[in-house]
Amino acid sequence: MPSTPRSPSADLSLPPVGFGTAALRGEHGVRTVAAALDAGYRLLDSAFNYENEGAVGAAVRASGVPRDEVIVTSKLPGRHHAHDAAVATIEESVYRTGLDHLDLYLIHWPNPSQDRYVEAWGALIEARERGLVRHIGVSNFLPEHVDRLVAETGVTPVVNQVELHPYFPQAEQRAADAARGIVTEAWSPLGRANSLLDEPVLTRIAADRGVTVAQVILAWHVGLGVLPLPKATSPDRQRQNLEAADLELSAEEMAAVAGLARPDGRNNDQDPAVYEEY
Ligand code: A2P
C-alpha cells in the first residue's frame, strides 16, 4: 500500500505526505498550519530561514492534536554551520516554536565551498543527545556529502529532503538514499505549481481517474517511495493533497509521468554541488 508509513528508525514513523510551510508566517501562517493539522497532516516542514518556526509552533500548541502525534521539522541555515553557532541556532529554533523539542532537524544545504557541514552535523548529534531534537537528517545533500558525514561521525541521517518533482525525478539520488537506509523527502513536489500542472500527460491521467493533477503528481511521489511536502493555503487543496496518498497509480501511469523528466529539470538551477544558501 502506498500509504504505509515508513520507519527509518525504530521510533520514527513517517506519514506518506507532509505539509510544506515556506512563506506561511504570522497570524495567516498560524491559521493555515492549524487548518493543515485539522485536515490530518502530521508532519510539518519548517526552517530557521523560513522565519516561521513561531507560527508553526503556535499552530501545534493551539491544536488539539497530541504533541507526540506531530512531527515538527526545522532546518539549520548555512550561516550557522560552525559548531557553537549551530548549537545556539538549534536552541533558538526550539525556543521559537514554544515546544520543548523538535522531532526532526535537518542541515538545510551542505554549502560545500564553506565545507563546515560535518562540523554542523556534530552539533545536530549533540542536540539529539540532549533531547532538543529527536531525529536528525539533511536536505540537499548529494551522496558524497552524506558519505562524509557517515565516515566522519558514524551517524547516518534519517531523511534527505531534496528538490523532486516529475520534471526532476532524482533517480540516482533516490537510489543512493535508499541504499543508505535514508528516506527521501521532496521539496517543491508540485514544481511550485509551474507549467507542470498543465502537462497533458498529467491532465489525462487526472481526468481518467477523476482526481486533480496535483493528486496525480503526489501519488507518483508516494508510488516512488518518496515523501512529498506540498504547501497549500486553502483547506480544499490541503485536503486533496493529503488524500493523494490513497491513490495508487498503475505501472503504466508511473511510466507516463516518468516521461516528463528533463536533464535540467530543476526549477531554479539550485544544484547542491555549487548552489549555496546562508
Ligand atoms: P497555494 O499555496 O496558493 O495553495 P510546491 O509545494 O511544489 O512548492 O507548490 C506550492 C504551490 O502549489 C503553491 O503555489 C500552492 O498554492 C500550489 N498548490 C498546492 N496544492 C495545489 C493543488 N492541489 N492544486 C493546485 N495548486 C496547488
pLDDT tens for residues 55-70? 999 999 999 999 999 9
Q: Which three cell numbers stand for residue 176?
A: 543512493
The Å distance, Cα 180 to ligand 1 centre, comes to 31
Residue of the nearest CA to atom 10 in ligand 1?
A: 192
- Region of 115 on the Ramachandran plot (φ > 0 left; ψ -120 to 50 alpha; else beta): left
Does any ligand 1 atom lie closer than 6 A to the CB of residue 237?
yes
List C-alpha distances in Å: 14 to 44, 80, 113, 132, 232.
11, 27, 32, 19, 20
Q: Which one, of 171, 158, 121, lies nearest residue 6 by Cα?
A: 158
- Catalytic annotation, residues: 50
pLDDT tens, residue by residue, 18-60: 999 999 999 999 999 999 999 999 999 999 999 999 999 999 9
Under 8 Å between Cβ of 146 and 138: yes
Q: Which residues contact 272 (CB under 8 A, 6 or more apart)?
A: 109, 110, 112, 140, 141, 142, 145, 162
Residue of the nearest CA to atom 18 in ligand 1?
A: 232
Under 8 Å between Cβ of 167 and 260: yes
Asked whether the predicted pLDDT for residue 172 surpasses 90, the reply is yes
Residue of the nearest CA to atom 26 in ligand 1?
A: 193
Does any ligand 1 atom lie closer than 6 A to the CB of residue 166?
no
Does any ligand 1 atom lie closer than 6 A to the CB of residue 188?
yes
The Å distance, Cα 179 to ligand 1 centre, comes to 31
The confidence band for 4, taking pLDDT boundaries of 50, 70 and 90, is very low
The Å distance, Cα 241 to ligand 1 centre, comes to 9
| CA gap 210, 204 in Å, rounded | 10
pLDDT tens, residue by residue, 181-204: 999 999 999 999 899 999 999 999
Give me the chain's average pLDDT, please. Answer: 96
Q: Which one, of 117, 160, 100, lies nearest residue 136 by Cα?
A: 160
Residue 236 CA, closest ligand 1 atom number: 23
DSSP state, residue 191: G
End-to-end CA distance of the chain: 39
Asked whether the predicted pLDDT for residue 5 surpasses 60, the reply is no
| CA gap 56, 46 in Å, rounded | 7
Does any ligand 1 atom lie closer than 6 A to the CB of residue 233?
yes
Asked whether the predicted pLDDT for residue 229 surpasses 80, the reply is yes
Asked whether the predicted pLDDT for residue 233 surpasses 70, the reply is yes
Does any ligand 1 atom lie closer than 6 A to the CB of residue 134?
no
Would you state the pLDDT for residue 2? 45
Does any ligand 1 atom lie closer than 6 A to the CB of residue 191?
yes
Residue 188 CA, closest ligand 1 atom number: 7
Does any ligand 1 atom lie closer than 6 A to the CB of residue 234?
yes
